[in-house]
Chains A and B, each alone.
Chain A
Amino acid sequence: EAQVTQNPRYLITVTGKKLTVTCSQNMNHEYMSWYRQDPGLGLRQIYYSMNVEVTDKGDVPEGYKVSRKEKRNFPLILESPSPNQTSLYFCASSPRDYSYEQYFGPGTRLTVT
């Protein structure tokens, strides 16, 4: 089954404790992206990657890091999480065509206390 998977689905952590949210897709998509969803704000892009070893900032990159060492994986790293990073996070992938229609993972709900 074609899908985007994320782990963990739920995470509660404390301020300053480094964490990684994994994302993997099995559709051989070149493009991958991370979004955060907050009430009343819709989804905002954090980082994206056009291909292996190619990443770039989205609209809200502060406090986040990413890497793209393999085509299928695109982990999101919070080196020192803060309470304002409490949010619902989605990973997405897309073929690099003209529409950039994106396929989303199930989401990771992160709470930073």
Chain B
Amino acid sequence: AQSVTQLDSQVPVFEEAPVELRCNYSSSVSVYLFWYVQYPNQGLQLLLKYLSGSTLVKGINGFEAEFNKSQTSFHLRKPSVHISDTAEYFCAVRDDYKLSFGAGTTVTVRA
């Protein structure tokens, strides 16, 4: 079975500063990776996904992630955050017929 580890449970950051959220997955032959965002009191929304091809994946709202097979990582980055990026972020990997999720990283953006 696949598993995901999100290395930071909480990330406080100032507005307009960069942010990186770290995600490591257990290795497998084929890997499909996702980042989802959950805004307060809402469901999960897909930010971006890696299925194949370029290891640098661009998503919505200025986020991007880099797939690194040798380090089994899929870290999420944004060069300049806004207050509206305050949310919980989940890394996930396809695991048979489901997604296996990390425990989540709460990002709090302060003015």
B104 to A, closest residue via Cβ: A42
Q: Determine how close the nearest CB of chain A comes to the CB of B107; give it in whole angstroms.
A: 15
> Is B32 in the interface zone, CB < 8 Å from A?
yes
Q: How many residues of A contact B (CB 8 A)?
A: 27
> Is A48 in the interface zone, CB < 8 Å from B?
yes
The interface bits of chain B over 1-41 (1 if a CB of A lies within 8 angstroms of the residue's CB, else 0) are: 00010100100000000000000000000001010100000
Say whether A42 contacts B103, CB under 8 Å.
yes
Say whether A101 contacts B101, CB under 8 Å.
no
Say whether B98 contacts A100, CB under 8 Å.
yes
Residues in chain A near residue B4, CB distance under 8 A: 42
> Is A61 in the interface zone, CB < 8 Å from B?
no
Residues in chain B near residue A99, CB distance under 8 A: 32, 49, 51, 94
A 98-113 contacts with B by CB, 8 A: 98-107
Q: How far is the CA of A100 from the CA of B46 in the complex (A)?
A: 12
Say whether A104 contacts B98, CB under 8 Å.
no
Q: Determine how close the nearest CB of chain B comes to the CB of A99; give it in whole angstroms.
A: 5
A3 to B, closest residue via Cβ: B43
Partner of B98, one of A4, A41, A45, A103: A45
Q: Determine how close the nearest CB of chain A comes to the CB of B29; give it in whole angstroms.
A: 13
Say whether B98 contacts A58, CB under 8 Å.
yes
Which residues of chain B have a CB within 8 Å of any CB of chain A? 4, 6, 9, 32, 34, 36, 42-46, 49, 51, 90, 92, 94, 97-99, 101-104
Which residues of chain A have a CB within 8 Å of any CB of chain B? 4, 31, 33, 35, 40-45, 48, 50, 56, 58-59, 90, 92, 98-107
